[in-house]
Structure 1
Amino acid sequence: MPFFIRTMMKVLRVPNRTIFIVVIAFVFGSATIAYALEPSTFHTWFNALYWVMTTMATVGYGDFFAKTNIGKAFTIFLYVFGIGLLSLIIGKIIDLLSTIYKHWEAGKLNFHGKDHIIIINWSKKAQYAIDEILSFSPSSHIVIIDESDKHPVTDRHEIHFISGDPSSEDILEKAMLKQAKAVIIFADTRIDEPALADGKTLLIASSIERLHPNVHTTVEITQDKNTKNFRHVKVNDFVLSYDAVSRLAVRAALQQGSSEIINQLIRRDVGDDIHEIPVRPEWRTYKDAFMGTLEYGATLLSDRDDLGINRKLNEPIPADARLFVVSDEETHRKLLEVDKRQNS
C-alpha cells in the first residue's frame, strides 16, 4: 500500500502537459492496436477510436466489441489502465478550473479586453458606481483594482478584479489601462486622514497620466483645497466627496426640495437625467439647439461645463462643443434617432 500511495503521489506531481500528451498517445495508440487486432470487427480506424473512447468512459453501447481472445485481453487492459487515465485527466481538468477560479477570486488574473471602465479602491461608493454604470450600459465591462485579496463582487461575470497597488505600473498593465475607456479613482476609505487619502489618489492619478495620458480620469477628492494639486496631472473631472455631502445638506435645509432635484439628476433610475447629444449641422447658435431640443421635450443645459449658455443664445456653437440636455430616457433616444436618420 505505501508503494501504491507513493506511486500515485508521483503521478499527481507530473506536469499537466505531460499527462495530456500521455493520454492522447494512449487513446490513439489503443485505437491503432484495436484496429490491427480485429480489422473485421471495426472496419475503420475511426470506429476503433470510437470504441476505445466509449470503453474508457465506461459507456459501452455494445455496437462494437472484441470477438477474439486477444481482443478481449486488450479490452481488459483498456479497462484497467484506460479508465484510470481518463479519471486522472478529468481530475486534472477539475483541479485546473478550481485553480483558475481561485486566482480569479484572489485578483491574480490579467484582464483581456478593451473599452472597459477601471474603478480604483473598493468602497460602498464604488459599488453604487458599478450599479449606475450597469444600469446605463448593461454590457459594459468593469475592472476593479484594490489592495484587498478577495473579489468584492463575485456574482457578476462582467466585473473583473485585480489585487494590488493601483499606482504600480504592473497592476495597471494587468488591468489593460491603455485599452480602457475611463478610470474612476475613489478615495481610499481605509485612510482616516483626508490629506493622506488625497495624496494616495494623486499618486495613482500620476501613474495613470504617465502610462495613458489620453484616458478620461475622474477623481474623488476629500478636501477642496487639494484640487489644485491635481491640475498638473490632467485629471478630467473631480468629485468632492465630503464637501458635496455638506453642501447638499445645507441646500436641503435652506432651499427645501432642491436636494430632490439634484438626487434625481445623478440617478438614472428616477425621473429625468443629464444626457449628451450630438450637435446637428442645422444648429448655428445655441438658440437653434435650445429650440431644437425643446421641440422634443428636452431642456438644453450646458456646453461642457458652461451652464450659462442660455444667457448667450445668439452666440454661435463652437466646433468642439459638447451639448448636454435634461430629459428622460425616451426623449434622449428620440433625439439620437433623429440625428442618426440625418446622418444616414
Structure 2
Amino acid sequence: MSVSFYQRFLRWPILVRTLVIALAAISAFGILIHIIEPVNFPTIFDGIWWALITTSTVGYGDYVPLTTSGRIIAMLLIFLGAGFLTTYFVTLAASTVTTQNAYLEGKASFMGKEHTIIVGWNERSREIIDQLLSFDGSNLVTLIDDSLTENPYKNPCIHFIKGQSFRDDILKKAGVNTAEIAVITADQNKNEIDADMNTVMTLLAMKGINPKLYCVAEVLTGDHIANAERAGADEVIQTNKQTSYIIMDSILSKGMSTTILELLNHLKGNNLQVIDPIEECHNKTFQEISNLLLKQNIILLGLKKGERTIVNPPLETIIYADDGLLVISTEKGKKKSG
C-alpha cells in the first residue's frame, strides 16, 4: 500500500510534491516542539505557527524554544523546512513564468468552448478577428498558425496555437471538439494549388474530429471547390473569383469597390444575411414582401431557392415558405436554417 502511494506521489507535479513535503515538515516539527516544550508551546497549533514563522524566516519571536532539545529542533527545522519552503516558492515562480511563456508561444491548450477557430495568420484573418472583437468583445477566438513565434494579440480572448492546422494534436489543443465555427484561410506563403490542398487537408482533419463543426473554407482555385465540399466544408469562398468580380465592377462603374465594402460592413450595422420569411409573407409576391420589409427598415435584395440565389427577381415572383430572403438589415434576423 505504501509503495503504491509512493509511486503515485512521484507522479504528482513537482510544485504539489514540494508543497506537501514542506507542509508535512512544518506540521511534524510543530507537533514535536509542543511535545518537547509544552509550557512554551501550549497547543499543537502554537507549535505549527512557530514552525511556519521560523521556516519563512519572519521570526516574530512570540514563541521561542528555551531548552537545548528545542533549539536543536529549531536548527533542524531551519535547515530542512526553510529549504523546502524556498524550493516551493522558486518552483512556483518558475512554473508561472513557464505557463505564461507557453500561452504566449502557442504551446498551451485552449480550455474554453463555443469559440471560433481561425486558421492562418494574414491580413484577412487579422481583419476577421478585429471585426469579431469589435462586434462582441467577449468572443473567444483560437488562432492556429505555424509561422508566428508568439501571439500577435494581448487580448485574453485570443488564444494562439502554434503548429500545422491539419495535425490532430494541434487541432485538439485548439479545442476543435468544443468549437462552434472554424474559418480556414488560404496560406499566402504557398502557391495556389498547394494552399488549397492544405485547406482541404485541414478540413478533413477538423471534420474527422468534430463532424458537427461548421467550417468556412477559403480556396484560391476553382478546381478545389469540389474537393473542399467533399472534405466537409459548409461554405466555400473562392477569394480570387470574388475579388475579380469587385475589380470588374470597379472598371464598369468607378467607385464600386468602396460601395460594396460599405454595403458589407457589419461594424456599421449593415448585416447582409438570408432569413426565413415570416408566415404572413408566404405565397406573396416579391414586391409585396419588399414593401412589407421596408417598413421594418429591411431591404430585400433577392431570394435563395435551395442552392440557387436569385438577385433582384421579377416583382411578381411568388415567395414560398421554404425560400430564403436575401436582405440587408440593421439587426440580426432569423437566419435561414440549413
TM over 0.5: yes
| Letter aligned with residue 96 of structure 1 | S
1:296 aligns to 2:300 (yes or no): no
| Letter aligned with residue 32 of structure 2 | I
2:230 aligns with 232
- Cα displacement (A) at 1:317: 2.4
Unaligned residue ranges in structure 2 (runs of 5+)? 1-12
1:327 aligns with 329
1:37 to 1:96, Cα distance in 2 relative to 1, 3 A: same
1:196 aligns to 2:204 (yes or no): no
1:38 to 1:235, Cα distance in 2 relative to 1, 3 A: same
Cα deviation, 1:206-237, whole Å, max 9, x if unaligned, reads 22233333221111111234323323223222
| SS across alignment from 1:177 | coil
Q: Distance in 1 between matches of 2:233 and 2:139?
A: 22
1:86 aligns with 85
1:212 aligns with 210
The 5 Å alignment of 1:1-344 reads 15-62=14-61, 64-70=62-68, 71-148=70-147, 150-191=149-190, 193-270=191-268, 272-274=270-272, 280=278, 284=282, 290=290, 293-301=293-301, 306-308=309-311, 311=315, 314-318=318-322, 325-328=327-330, 332=331
Cα pair 2:300 2:325 within 8 Å, conserved = yes
| Letter aligned with residue 142 of structure 1 | V
| SS across alignment from 1:119 | strand
- Cα displacement (A) at 1:127: 1.4
Cα pair 1:164 1:171 within 8 Å, conserved = yes
Q: Distance in 1 between matches of 2:283 and 2:51?
A: 78
Count of residue correspondences: 315
Q: Distance in 1 between matches of 2:263 and 2:37?
A: 78
Cα pair 1:118 1:144 within 8 Å, conserved = yes
- With the length of structure 1 as denominator, give the TM-score of the two structures: 0.77
| SS across alignment from 2:182 | strand
Cα pair 1:264 1:271 within 8 Å, conserved = no
| SS across alignment from 2:266 | coil
Q: Percent identity?
A: 23
Q: Distance in 2 between matches of 1:57 and 1:293?
A: 73
| Letter aligned with residue 65 of structure 1 | Y
Cα pair 1:119 1:142 within 8 Å, conserved = yes
Q: Higher helix fraction: Structure 1 or Structure 2? A: 1
Q: Distance in 2 between matches of 1:279 and 1:132?
A: 28
2:9 aligns with none
| SS across alignment from 1:178 | coil
Q: CA RMSD in A?
A: 3.2
| SS across alignment from 2:57 | coil
- Cα displacement (A) at 1:33: 1.9
1:254 to 1:246, Cα distance in 2 relative to 1, 3 A: same
Unaligned residue ranges in structure 1 (runs of 5+)? 1-13, 337-344
- Cα displacement (A) at 1:155: 1.1
1:66 to 1:136, Cα distance in 2 relative to 1, 3 A: same
| SS across alignment from 2:130 | helix
